[in-house]
Amino acid sequence: MLPTPRPSCPTSQPLARKSGGDYTFELRRGVRGPTGDPFTAADVSWSIKRDLATSPVAPFLFSLANLDVRDPVTVLARYAVRINVSGPSPFLLGVLAWFDEGVYDRKLYLAHATGAIPGLSGGAPPTRPRSAPTT
């Protein structure tokens, strides 16, 4: 028999708010990144905003999942985050779990940053070009 799946970073399945369908995640305390820094709601917020700023795929996937791309994340507390949506979608949790839309140790990324990305406070290393220049 297979074991029951258990979330590794959130403490449980997300709670959906009835009015707008936003998802609130309570993060597990004691989870650490590769540098030993604690995994916090600030890492989740920074990572989603970084994905929107750098990934050519993230804006499409997040829009498909009805994630509010203008205001995607609200940090509620050190270990609590709300994912803001514009309406219900069966794709949201799958998109958040997509390999390209991961949560990163922001301190590690920022320690190796080579430049700032417009619209992303704190900077981030540009990992992919947004588009090819036209002639």
**DSSP per residue over 63-78, as a string?**
HHTTB-TTS-EEEEET
Q: What number of other Cβ atoms are within 10 A of residue 65's Cβ?
A: 23
- Mean pLDDT computed over every residue of the chain: 75
Q: Cα separation of 117 and 128, whole Å?
A: 11
pLDDT higher than 80, residue 13? no
pLDDT exceeds 60 at position 130? no
* pLDDT tens digits, 21-59: 788 888 888 888 778 889 899 999 998 998 888 888 888
The residue that leads in pLDDT, 19 or 124, is 19
Give the pLDDT score at 80. Answer: 92
Three-state SS at 107: helix
With pLDDT > 70 as the criterion, what percentage of the chain qualifies?
67
Domains of the chain: 15-108 (3.90.76.10)
The pLDDT value recorded for residue 1 is 57
Q: pLDDT tens digits, residue range 82-92?
A: 999 988 888 88
- pLDDT computed for residue 84 by the predictor: 92
